[in-house]
Structure 1
Amino acid sequence: MTTKTMPQDQYDKIFKEITEFVDKYTDDNVDNHANDIITTFDTNYNRWFQIIPFMKDCKKYAEALMRYCTAIDKQPTYESLQKLSSYISEFENYDLSHHVYRKNLYYSLGITWHHLGKIYDKFAIEAFKKYIFYLLGLSSYTAYSPICYSFRKCTTYLYQSLALEQLNLSSPCTFNDPFDSPIISLLDKNDEIAMLIKSAYLDCVKISCFVSNVMQPFHKDGNIYGEIVRNKRKQEDNISEEFQNELMWAHYADYHRGICIKYHFPNSLTSLYSEPGTSVKYFRDVQYKDDLSVLTEKDSITIEDAFFAKSKAWKYENELRLILCDLNSTGLYDSIDIPNCIEAIYFGVNCANKDIKVIREIMKNRELIIKQERMVDNKREIVETKTPVSFYQMEFDSKKFGSLIAKKLQ
């Protein structure tokens, strides 16, 4: 296999042309030179594009492509937008084309498709989905295998998810708190572009909510090269376990008639961007704020505020979220496979015997499987630990009013 090379003088010449193009056509003069920008870029595209594999980063080429995108927006046609889309797609496939470049290009592409006419808004929404995909990819966390809990009502929907070993996710617009995920409120205004971006969000972004009393691991003092803090509790004065959260049983488990599921997820559940068309999944703790109204008054907000901010009134939840951005997803709901990730099931104080019987039958012979890399005979091997799913019945603690205890079932 041979590695492609390019003579240095040829590279320098092309790079100089791109730099001069970027410097000549600025945001201030694009309007008056749209034709020149389009003609110059189209004429030189094949030559300019060939140096991308040899660039230390693609910033200058990305800026040139952005100038071209802005020029197309001044006089869009279906043919020119098809060409622009192909240019962006080809650039997207190079690892050096950073998420920020991809994000900005697809945002501009979405706006340009809309400017061409409302009949092309489906293309605009697809471009905005890519914009969201890279926006979320910029702030993703990976390699995190949390132990967390989910409180559920006993419904056919629950039985199905247990039988199929799937995790259900839903659009933020379905949440019971109207102030949750402020990005939806921010985009809910009389602005056509905002409404298209909102449609893209509702299609491709889904969330699943859990309870975890322990913070997600984080770097001490915000220094990414510093010590990683683990096992820090969110509320130091709260010594109870997640499955003993009285308010969660009342609010999310049908007044103690439902169940609480204990999950132990593998690192492999989360995923960064790897190639166009893949999904992004990662966990993040919810941050509880005093005043969420300020978020909806801004022109833009961070990803943390967009999907991981709630009022302090909800602080008792100690919520951990899994966010999924899947470009192929549509509708308000989605699901992902989570085989062998359930460690235990806790039945509510008032859970009906028929529900306990059905759930135990579904989960019969199920195991939690944890895979860990260990040194065995001086070799790295993946070792599997298999543990049968445990079942518990919640009871009121006779020694402490308002408290719950879990009794293990045989």
Structure 2
Amino acid sequence: MADPVKVALLGCGSVGAEVVRLLHEQSSDLTARIGAPIELVGIAVRRAGRDRGTLPVDPSIFTTDALGLVKRDDVDVVIEVVGGIEPARTWLVEALRAGKSVVTANKALLAEDGASLHDAAVEGGADLYYEAAVAGAIPLLRPLRESLHGDKITRVTGIVNGTTNFILSAMDAKGSGFSEALEEATALGYAEADPTADVEGFDAAAKAAILASLAFHTRVGAENVYREGITEVSAADVASAKAMGCTIKLLCIATRTVDGGISVRVHPAMIPRTHPLAGVNDAFNAVFVEAEAAGQLMFYGRGAGGAPTASAVLGDLVAVARNRLSGSRAASESSYASLPCRPMGEVRTRYHISLDVADRAGVLAAVAGVFAKHDVSIATVNQSGRGDKALLVIVTHSAPDAALAQTVSDLRSLDFVKSITSVLRVEGE
């Protein structure tokens, strides 16, 4: 039996505590799988003296000096589950440059400055694994960077935030409004006290950047991702989607464009109920991958929570520990393609637009004229109600998003358009 692989853990919250528990409970199995025992030699926390209940570790290994812990000569692997940009970036760059392999769940850091981590890993000859950063326990990132490495991925479409998916699922199932569904999600523990990162799409955008980077062999940062949240999605939007045989999901969409670039975006969209992602409800995640040779693949499961995320962390730990024992390392970051990221205005999308209009002669012709002015083709038009309650629902064909946005802007200026009650993109058809 080889000498123990010595591990430093940064963070001991819900995920970190689960990592400690699984390391203890699965100790013999992990030893057999790796070929050496795992020894947890230090845990960095904010408050070392805090009561941690029945956590199966010697209290003496807790420290508040995270940087000092990663610099220790006896540390082989650093696991980081603290989150945030700094000081996590400093800790991990230090570890990687010193040749210590890193396992992280830090999606925000990877999306903000993954380049620094990858460069430090190359400099130190160390492994950088981050399966837990996207979609919890779902094995997704490794298939993208290994299993599908011989294929050409054309599109990745996913539901990667459980909080927003729970909210939209509740709105669809119960007819509730956004605020009511958010309150339910908070009461059940799916939403944080401050849900901004989830409901405004920041969390999903960070994950979209990571997925696009792997899928398209291109460094994609959070700044390259177009983002919209779900706070403006109304019960009326959900009802309108139902009438069309659709449901509304917060999607991350990364695609190759016809001109050789890529587009990466996060926004709510209507998708047909026949689409594989339409049936992904509650707090579950799913990612739909399309590749030239492999065709269509779907990855589904729980995308968050202490235990699922810890499962992904331990999977990465086994991989880096095996590499360390064999004297090898995983393949370096694949960013050779360096494809340009296209702005949202150039991306071709479809819109669903609901207009509250005056019911009088010439209205439909005038509305159609605005669409024609911007070279946007109308797919369907439906009118309901009369008099003061006339409603036009228009679904467009595919057009540049900038043209669609300008069309909506011009519609707002028409005197017979009382309000635009809904603007949603349509995907998956």
When the two structures are superposed, what TM-score results if normalisation uses the length of structure 1? 0.28
Higher Cα Rg, which structure: 1
When normalised by structure 2's length, the TM-score is 0.27
